[in-house]
Each structure stands twice: as C-alpha cells, then as structure tokens.
Structure 1
Amino acid sequence: MPISGMTGFGRAEGAHAGWTWAVEARSVNGRNLEVRFRGPPGFETLDRAAREGAQARFQRGNLTVGVTAKRSEGAASVRVNVEQLERYLALGAPFMQDGRIMPPSLDGLLSLRGVIEADDAGLDPEVQAEVEAAMAASIAVALDGLAAARREEGTALLGVLHAQVDRIGDLAGQARDLAAGQPAAIKARFEARLKELAGEAATEERIVQEAAAMAVKADVQEELDRLRTHVEAARGLLASDGAVGRRLDFLTQEFMREANTLCSKSQAGALTAVGLDLKATIEQFREQVQNVE
C-alpha cells in the first residue's frame, strides 16, 4: 500500500430499532496513534470498537471518533412525574384561591418542564445489543472513509516528496562538482597563511600543522557520500509499502546533519550557497514528512 497522510475525515449514518445516528471520524498529524471517542450516554462500549478499529487501520495520528444518536419519540415510553406536577399545583394554589389566575388546563400542566419524562430504562437488552452492533458497524465504515481520505493525501504528498528528494540529490551533485575545485582555493589560502606564518618566523612543524588543519576542514567527500546514500534511502522508502513516516523523519535529521557539516567545511562562497540551498530544501522536505503516517 502506498504512503498515507495523517489528515482526513470519514462519515457514516445508520438507523435501527427507532434509533438514528451519525458517526464522524477525523484525524490530524501526531507522532503516535491517539484515539479519542465521544458517544451517546448508555453506549460506552462503543469506545472499544472505535479504538480497536483505529488500531487495525492506522499507526500514527490524533484521531477523534464521535457518535451522535437520537431515539425517536415513538420508541421511548413516557411517564408523568406526579411529584413535579404536585409541586406546580401547590405553588399555584394561593394565586387561584384569591382569583389572580385561572385554574390551569391539562395541556398547560403537561407542557411544564419536568412533568413529562421519557423512560429509557425499559430498553430491551437484546435490542440494545443490536443497536450497539449496528453503531459499531457504522464506526467501521467511517474509519474506512477516513483511511481512504488519508491515502488520497498520501498520493498527493508522494509527488511533492519525490520532487524534493530529487532536488536534494541535484544539489548534492552540484556540491560535489564545486568541492572538486576546493583544492585550488585551499592552496591559495594556505599560501597566504604561509606568508603570515613566515613573517612570524614559523617553524616547519607549525606550517605542516596549519596545512593539515586546512585540509581536514575542507574535505567534504564523506558528507557528500552520505548525502548520496540518504537520497537513495529516501527514494526506497517512498517506493515501499506501509507506514514510513518515522523513518523519513529520522532520515531528514541525517540530511540536515550532513548539510550543516558541508556548510561549516566549505572554503568557497559558491559551495556555501549550494549548502544553504540544500538546507532550505531539506527543511521543506521535513515539513512535508510531518504529514506522512
């Protein structure tokens, strides 16, 4: 399976036994897999379905799975809260006795807050289990939709990442060509340094030390070889299946380490400019890698 992103959205709806519901699953970038669930009261067991479903499909990302549900009025029995009704009548009795208000009508009393209550306690356990199973199936559908959205994001990212890796490879090639011309620059700089040291009556040992130090500082062959190896590794990861985001993130750190060393060792302005361009491209690559699962 090609690479996946970590941002996406999935939705599913369902109905059963007088219940209707909607499931929404969304995710954003995250170093690890974190799942948060929000569901209707009385259906806490759905949390497990959401977490296990997410773990089966994803390895990274911050996921939120939400279920909103409603039971139709005809599916729930109702009762009159007599105690609450008596309280309203007792409060209004003095006003009716002195004629300040008319006796209330039945529909008026029943419309008062708390007089009519829905009784959900009588939901049959078998029906409850059927509704939960149907909701869990909708959660799976929403998670499948989220996975598809993340794969679409991965497809879009793939072209961008390939282009950035190619750019890194091109810049490393330019750096290699420029580094080949560094010996001449080192020679000129060493000759100038030699004249300075000669003016100080420098010993031959001191001169040799200076030459060795300049040669070591200017040698970037090792960094260029590692950059080439990292480019090949990045292309291999982008062509592989599964979650490669963590490995790409680590590889980006290695890219930047070599680019920093290249700039610090550079003895030529042109090579330094390429090194800075290389660092900027690697940073852009790093930002995109943060979106890869």
Structure 2
Amino acid sequence: MPVYSMTGYASAQNAASGTGASAEETAAHAPRPHRLGLEIRSVNSRFLDISFRLPDELRALEPALRSLLTARLRRGKVELRAALGNEGSSPLQDPPAKLLQRLSFLQDCVRAWLPDAAPLTVADTLRLCANAQAGAEDWSAAVPALAEQALDALLSAREREGTRLAAMLLERVRQLRALARQAVPMLPSLVEQQRQRFLERWQEAMALTGDAVLSETARERALADATAYALRIDVAEEITRLDSHLDETERLLKKGGEVGKRLDFLIQELHREANTLGAKSAALELTRVSLDMKVLIEQMREQVQNIE
C-alpha cells in the first residue's frame, strides 16, 4: 500500500445543458450550457477537516459531497470549491422574455408598497436571470460524478507526493544508521581513556604519601570510580533503542497506508534518544554525532507532518 501525503490539488470541469426552459424559450433563445468547475485543495492537519465553498444552486449537495470525501480521506484540511459559468465565448445569455416579464411584474409589486425602492439595473436583471436559469438545472448527478473525478486526481497527486516523502525519509533512516555505527566504536576507547585518567590522577595523589597500602586502596577506588563513570557514559542502550525505532520507521514506510500518526510518535522517540546520546557524550566526536542526528531527525519531523 502506498504512503499518502496530505498535500495535493486537483480540479475538474463539466458542462450540462439547461433543462429548465420551455420548448418555446429554447427555440427562441437557445441557452448555452452551464459549465461546472470543481477544485479540491488539501494540506496537512491532525484530523480530517472539510470545508466547502459552493454557489447557492449547489448547497443542497453538500451532504453528498461530504460523504464522498470522508469515505476516501482520513486526514488533512480539505477545501472543495465549485463554480458555475456559461459555455461559449460570451458569458452573457439572452434573458428569456417570460423571465423579464416576471421581473418587471415583481418590481412593480415591490414599488407599489415601497415607492422609494431603487429600480432594477441592467446588471441586476442579468444576474437574476443567470441565477434563475442556473438554478433550473439539475446537478444532483453531475456534481458527485465530477467530484469523484477530482477526488481520484487528488489521491493520485497525494500518492505521488507521499512516494517522494517516503523515499526521502528512508534516506534519512540510512544516514541515521550510519551515524549510529560511527558512535558504537567510540565507546570502548572513551571508557578506557577515562579509566587511565582516573588511575593517573590517583597515582599522582598517592605518590605524595608513599604508603603502599593506601596506594593499593586508592587504585581500587580509582577503578571503581572509572567503572561508575563508564556506566554513566555508556550509550549502548540508547543506540539499541535508536536502531529499534529506525527499524519500525522503515517497516511503516514500506508498509504504507495510514502511518502518519505512528511515524510522528517514532520521531519523538528518535529525538529523545539523540538528546540522551548528547547528554552522555564524553567526547567531542560523540557530541558531533548527536548533533548530526538531531538535524536529520528534525528534517524527518517536518516531512512526517505531511503524511496521512
């Protein structure tokens, strides 16, 4: 199963001829078909957040569109926009005579009660006629079909982006493994260096006393302190957990599906282990390894936020 990004964009268009005009009106004023355009935009979000921007003629279809989106999307902030227009070179249609008569009658009725009401302008008349003609069309079948088409394109775009993100994350996993392998050989040498340093310091201190018994006791104390120090700086457990988290991250990326939230949790665990590695660092080389790990993990965190 592929990995899906939550970021994507798709659009689709369709045209349907008007169905609300009578035969006489159709013969006298052949209406141009209305063009329906749909756009779906998607960005990252913790949950599935769907919003609609629909013209008044299509608002009744919002429940059907919401069901369509929730059936195939799991996470992301999704916005669906729809717009109605007219086919042809000119966006204006000749208003039907019956519709103009109806508007004139309604205007006379309104002004009979409200004499100060402003008369209809040409722009008002054309807009009302266009809305009336668009509202007469039945989009109940065309809109869901077009939304399904746009949704297919959106999922394809999200899959392509998800494939790219997965490849990038797998490359970061490989780099983190390489850094972990660099850290492992440093540990024995660091412990041995610190052990010798403890012994030298205690021998210098005991040389002033010249007491063999005290010197032997001091040596044993130095070895005990060196052992305790070795336990404090030992990061073998952190390296083991880091490898385990990287194994799980790689498994999820290859498995695909809805893995975004689990990957986000694993990134937090990786960051915790890298922090502990830096806190226990007893050498500049190990500190550098920890910092390089944090940089890679932060890059992974930014990209994981976009995975569904």
Alignment partner of 1:58 is 2:73: yes
Report what 1:225 is aligned to.
240
Q: For 1:148, which of 156, 161, 164 is the aligned residue?
A: 156
Report what 2:56 is aligned to.
41
1:168 CA drift (Å): 0.6
| CA contact 2:195–2:226 (8 Å) conserved in 1 | no
Alignment partner of 1:80 is 2:103: yes
Structure 1: unaligned runs, 5 residues or longer: 92-108
Report what 2:260 is aligned to.
245
Q: 1:27 to 1:270 in 2, by over 3 A?
A: same
Q: Which secondary structure does the structure 1 equivalent of 2:83 belong to?
A: strand
Report what 1:187 is aligned to.
195
Alignment partner of 1:171 is 2:186: no
Report what 2:132 is aligned to.
120
Alignment partner of 1:7 is 2:7: yes
Structure 2: unaligned runs, 5 residues or longer: 19-33, 87-91, 209-213
Alignment partner of 1:282 is 2:297: yes
Q: 1:157 to 1:192 in 2, by over 3 A?
A: same
| CA contact 1:37–1:50 (8 Å) conserved in 2 | no
| CA contact 2:107–2:120 (8 Å) conserved in 1 | no
Give a deviation string over 1:38-90, Cα, whole Å, max 9, x none. 11103223222332222222211111001112468469744333464696xx8
Counterpart CA distance in 1 for 2:83 and 2:135 is 18
Which stretch shows the higher mean deviation, 55-64 or 212-221? Answer: 212-221
Q: 1:276 to 1:194 in 2, by over 3 A?
A: farther
1:161 CA drift (Å): 1.1
Counterpart CA distance in 1 for 2:193 and 2:171 is 33
Amino acid across the alignment from 2:305: Q
Q: 1:150 to 1:114 in 2, by over 3 A?
A: closer
Q: How many residues are treated as equivalent by the alignment?
A: 270
Q: 1:22 to 1:263 in 2, by over 3 A?
A: same
Alignment partner of 1:235 is 2:258: no
Counterpart CA distance in 2 for 1:217 and 1:277 is 22
1:158 CA drift (Å): 2.1
Report what 2:29 is aligned to.
none
Report what 1:161 is aligned to.
169
| CA contact 1:186–1:267 (8 Å) conserved in 2 | no
For the aligned residues, what is the CA RMSD? 3.3
1:196 CA drift (Å): 9.3
Report sequence identity in percent: 38
1:241 CA drift (Å): 2.7
| TM-score calculated relative to the size of structure 1 | 0.79
1:257 CA drift (Å): 0.6
Amino acid across the alignment from 1:49: A
Counterpart CA distance in 2 for 1:120 and 1:164 is 58
Report what 1:22 is aligned to.
37
Counterpart CA distance in 2 for 1:5 and 1:260 is 28
Q: Which secondary structure does the structure 1 equivalent of 2:195 belong to?
A: helix
Amino acid across the alignment from 2:237: E
Counterpart CA distance in 2 for 1:197 and 1:286 is 51
